[in-house]
Chains A and B, each alone.
Chain A
Amino acid sequence: MHLIYPAILAALLFCTGLYGVLARRNAILVLMSVELMLNAVNLNLVAFDVWLRDELHAGQALTLFTIAIAAAEIGIGLAIVLLVHRNRGTADLDRLRDLREDETTDGTTGATDREQKAEAAS
């Protein structure tokens, strides 16, 4: 089998996941897109492991580890999303803006804030 079939499929799946992470608004849909990206990496690992006929089968071992870590990640991520939803009443990423810089003022306060932070850090 030609190697570029799995390689191209993995690249396109990764980019689909990338689009989902950037464009989706619901936090759980973003987690789904992250899963797609991880799966693209898994496909690459398996394909290259089969191509190289590695004695240690490092690619397949890493694939199994990635699957386990993805399961752990989805558990923790969903717990965090549920906590945010319980505290704020929403899982929309666009509405979680507590840490943004204040855009209503004309920028001078932001500059002074930054100077104060720099002084505090030094």
Chain B
Amino acid sequence: MSTHGVALASGAHGFLSPTGVEVAFLLVGLVTLGAAVLTVTTRQLVHAALWLVVALGGLAVEYLLLTAEFVAWVQVLIYVGSVVVLLLFGLMLTKAPIGRSPDADSGNRPVAIAVAGAAAVALVWVVVDAFRRTWIDLRGPVQGSTEVSGEMLFRYWVLPFEALSVLLLAALVGAIVLSRRGKENEAEEPRRKEEAR
């Protein structure tokens, strides 16, 4: 049934006649990709975090275009809302320089370009070769609304969901344990520093 459906779908779509959704997806994708490239290449550390906001927001719009509404809003809430704020806090707490820093890239930049370029060529080649004649059918009922997501999450995926909450608790406790000083260390540390001098 599936091969028949795919054949029908490929007959109904033209390769070079993009629909409105495709055009929107392409434009937002270009913005997202440009913001991602700026994130990894800019020399101003705080600007990298702000470009990351653009990239993650663009991805949220892509999720909306793919009719995954709930995932899109979770993306906005968690990534744009909290992860980027955490990253900015981290940048400020490690006293990252404001303005251009000349040593933002390490010495192995050519190797990184080579590896990333080779990976990009290989992945794009394989993906294009595999999914040249595949179309997503976006018509019909919305597949990622809150109702659908809640039903699948709490009907089929309850056990992983609960395990996830345990994992989040473990991460919370771990972060607290890592970031507070031990009491015995606190008393010894100044003495150790003076000895080191």
Contacts and interface: CB of A to CB of B under 8 A. Distances in A.
Given A11-B127, A24-B106, A57-B148, A51 B134 contact: yes
A47 B137 CA distance: 11
B71 A46 contact: yes
A39 B59 contact: yes
A90 to B, nearest CB: 8
Given A50-B66, A51-B134, 6 more contacts: A9-B29, A9-B32, A9-B33, A15-B123, A47-B66, A73-B171
Interface string B172-185: 10110011000000
- State which size class the interface on B falls in: 35 or more
A23 B127 contact: no
Interface in A55-88: 56-57, 60-61, 63-65, 67-76, 78-83, 85
Contacts of A69: 164, 167
Q: Which of B13, B90, B175 has the most CB of A within 10 A?
A: B90
Contacts, number: 250
Interface string A41-57: 01100110111010011
Contacts of B87: 28, 31-32, 74, 78
Given A64-B71, A74-B87, A3 B134 contact: yes
Given A22-B116, A28-B87, A83 B40 contact: no
A25 B105 contact: yes
A68 B153 CA distance: 14
B176 to A, nearest CB: 8
27 contacts: A1-B22, A1-B135, A2-B22, A3-B131, A8-B124, A9-B29, A11-B124, A12-B33, A23-B40, A24-B105, A28-B96, A32-B49, A46-B63, A49-B68, A50-B138, A51-B136, A64-B71, A65-B160, A71-B78, A71-B82, A71-B83, A76-B171, A78-B86, A78-B89, A78-B90, A81-B94, A82-B90
Nearest to B142: A50
A28 B45 contact: yes
Interface of A: 1-9, 11-20, 22-29, 31-33, 35-36, 39, 42-43, 46-47, 49-51, 53, 56-57, 60-61, 63-65, 67-76, 78-83, 85, 91-94
A60 to B, nearest CB: 6
Contact of A13 (B13, B33, B68): B33
A69 B164 CA distance: 8
Interface in B134-181: 134-138, 143-144, 148-149, 152-153, 156-157, 160, 164, 167-168, 171-172, 174-175, 178-179
Contacts of B89: 78
